[in-house]
Homo-oligomer: A and B are copies of this chain.
Amino acid sequence: MNLINNTLKHHNLRITKVRVEILSLFQTHKKALTHADLEAKYDKKFDRVTIYRTLSSFLENGLLHKIPDDSGVAKYALCHHEGTAHTHDDHHVHFKCKQCEKIECLHTLEIPKLQLPKKYKMENANLLIDGICATCNE
Which A positions have Cβ atoms within 8 angstroms of B?
Answer: 66-70, 72-74, 93, 95, 98, 106, 108-109, 111-112, 114-134, 137-138
Contacts and interface: CB of A to CB of B under 8 A. Distances in A.
A133 to B, nearest CB: 6
Task: From A108, A114, A137, A138, name the one whose CB has the most chain B CB atoms within 10 angstroms.
Answer: A114
A119 B131 contact: no
11 contacts: A109-B115, A112-B112, A117-B134, A118-B134, A119-B137, A120-B133, A123-B132, A124-B130, A124-B131, A126-B129, A127-B128
Contacts of A126: 68, 70, 127-130
Given A123-B131, A128-B68, A108 B117 contact: yes
